[in-house]
Amino acid sequence: MSNERKMIYLCLAHMSDEGLEQKYIKEAFDTNWVVPLGPNVNAFEDDLKQFVGKDQQGQEKEVVALSAGTAAVHLALIACGVKAGDEVCVQSFTFCASSHPITYLGATPVFIDSEPDTWNMDPELLEKAILDRIEKTGKKPKAIVPVALYGMPYDCERIMAVAKKYDIPVIEDAAEGFGSKFKGQVLGTFGKFGVLSFNGNKMITTSGGGALVCENAELKNKVMWYATQAREAYPYYQHEEVGYNYRMSNICAGIGHGQMTIANDHIAHHKHVQALYEELLADVEGVTVHKAPSENYDSNYWLCTIELDPTLRIKGQENAYKEVIKTAVGGAAGVIHAVDTAVTDCQPNDNVEALRVYMLNAKIEARPVWKPMHKQPVYKNAPAYVNGISEAIFKVGMCLPAGPYVSDEDVRYIVETIKSAIIR
């Protein structure tokens, strides 16, 4: 292994060859549109509208560009009428941005566990939870938030059927599932709202940003109003409701407008990398690549994921969790609280941690899968409807690099590294 080898990251931002992103940013400066509205924002929203397409009824969607995917979740909840004291059913197996905005509103997340084949919200458990919440609180949950984990579509048909039966709006968290499809229809167009994210590590980026796909123009208008401080039409600032400063900047939108020219290439590349992992790991005993359960599920494979058999022994396993970690895994941005223990009461198996460390030493970024929200201390008092699936996957799961910079040679090297880590 050469010391010259560059670190292989999970998913790095990648710009168009023509540098369109910089061209559109320059145009924003040249025309003095350095504000949270303008030609790039309009163009990017148009791009996204074309990209997500129509729903099965042939209805066109509307899209609002926002400052973050988290802001999109927040505004979708508000537009669904979620208020303090309400409950919202949300997939437990997700990144915290799916559920934190529920808490911002003083509402309570009701966590729903996953089905084993998609790793996403279990429709049966969802229905059970709805019935139990009605019985316990006398009220229906105000919204349902399924999540396309690592890009894999949820069972849109069954989730939407449950939502329809109880007349509860669906907010699709497609932040990781940009361009993923269920039976040919793009995620985000099934529910009342669809959340997209353009954070630096997502399928496409605006450095940071998000968007909300809305069912119709009226909802788009409502979301836009909340995103721009909820103003009434007087010559002075008049407010009858609390609003937010969540609109996307015309600079960021310039990046997004450029990125949309390569969005489909990115998706194709992620799928190609997934296919190569599937092929090369097929006969590695104890390592299972997570894949779509049927062709109804067209995942963008934002991140490729594997499961490690608990009996698999990995080099260095005896040292797993012996040292307190000083930084966030993956070097995530921001401030990370220092911790004084190396372990928690719910963590990936020793062999998963050992493989992560082994890969890192070989300059490969690999990460545990997201820890389910119902196992997070911050949500210890939230109701949860569980079947053990997400917790079990958390203990054996691992994310592998999949971004535009991951070459075939990189995938081969990653697979060889996994093989060499295994003690036979």
Ligand X SMILES: *Cc1c(COP(=O)(O)O)cnc(C)c1O
Q: Is 97 in the site for ligand X (CB under 6 A)?
A: yes
Q: Which is nearer to ligand X, 114 or 351 (CB)?
A: 114
Q: Is 120 in the site for ligand X (CB under 6 A)?
A: no
> 148-187: which residues touch ligand X (CB under 6 A)?
173, 175-176
Mark the segment that binds ligand X (CB under 6 A) among 23-31, 33-41, 93-101, 304-312: 93-101
Residue from the set 9, 95, 119, 394 that interacts with ligand X by CB under 6 A: 95
Q: Shortest Cβ distance from residue 171 to ligand X (Å)? A: 11
> What whole-number distance in Å separates Cα of residue 308 and Cα of residue 284?
10
> What whole-number distance in Å separates Cα of residue 136 and Cα of residue 305?
37
| DSSP structure string for 196-226 | EE--TTSSS-SSS-EEEEESSHHHHHHHHHH
* 287-289 sheet: strands from edge to edge: 287-289, 304-308, 397-400, 367-368
| Total residues at interface with ligand X (CB under 6 A) | 14
> What whole-number distance in Å separates Cα of residue 329 and Cα of residue 152?
23
Residue from the set 146, 169, 179, 210 that interacts with ligand X by CB under 6 A: 210
CB 154 within 8 A of CB 173: no
CB count, 10 Å around CB of 156? 24
Q: Shortest Cβ distance from residue 384 to ligand X (Å)? A: 18
Helices (H), 31-155: 39-52, 69-79, 100-104, 123-137
Mark the segment that binds ligand X (CB under 6 A) among 50-58, 91-99, 229-237, 238-246: 91-99
Q: Is 256 in the site for ligand X (CB under 6 A)?
A: no
Residue from the set 8, 20, 65, 98 that interacts with ligand X by CB under 6 A: 98
Q: Which is nearer to ligand X, 175 or 227 (CB)?
A: 175
CB 101 within 8 A of CB 79: no
Convert residues 59-88 into a mask of x (bound to ligand X by CB under 6 A) and - (unbound). Answer: ---------xxx------------------
Nearest-CB residue for ligand X: 69
Q: Shortest Cβ distance from residue 94 to ligand X (Å)? A: 5
Mark the segment that binds ligand X (CB under 6 A) among 35-43, 79-87, 92-100, 334-342: 92-100
Mark the segment that binds ligand X (CB under 6 A) among 80-88, 90-98, 272-280, 358-366: 90-98
Q: Which is nearer to ligand X, 47 or 176 (CB)?
A: 176
CB 136 within 8 A of CB 108: no
Q: Shortest Cβ distance from residue 169 to ligand X (Å)? A: 17
State how beta strands 181-182 and 185-186 pair: antiparallel
For residues 220-231, one letter each, b for 16 or more C-beta atoms within 10 angstroms of the residue's C-beta and e for the rest, the string is bebbbbbbeebe
Q: Is 297 in the site for ligand X (CB under 6 A)?
A: no
For the chain, the first-to-last Cα distance in angstroms comes to: 21
Tokens for 284, please give them: 């590695």
Q: Which is nearer to ligand X, 399 or 415 (CB)?
A: 399
Q: Is the alpha carbon torsion for 355, 13, 261, 249 positive or negative?
A: positive
Residue from the set 92, 108, 197, 206 that interacts with ligand X by CB under 6 A: 197
Q: Which is nearer to ligand X, 197 or 274 (CB)?
A: 197
> 264-293: which residues touch ligand X (CB under 6 A)?
none
Q: Shortest Cβ distance from residue 265 to ligand X (Å)? A: 21
Q: Shortest Cβ distance from residue 40 to ligand X (Å)? A: 18
Maximum Cα–Cα distance across the chain: 75
Q: Is 299 in the site for ligand X (CB under 6 A)?
A: no
Residue from the set 199, 249, 250, 390 that interacts with ligand X by CB under 6 A: 199
Residue from the set 41, 126, 147, 393 that interacts with ligand X by CB under 6 A: 147
Q: Which is nearer to ligand X, 212 or 396 (CB)?
A: 212
> Mapping DSSP to helix (H, G, I), strand (E, B) and coil, where does residue 324 land?
coil
> What whole-number distance in Å separates Cα of residue 50 and Cα of residue 303?
25
DSSP H/E element including 64: strand 62-66
Measured N-to-C along each axis, helices 156-165 and 123-137 cross at an angle, to the nearest 10 degrees, of: 20
Which residues in this chain contact ligand X in the complex, by CB under 6 A? 68-70, 94-95, 97-98, 147, 173, 175-176, 197, 199, 210
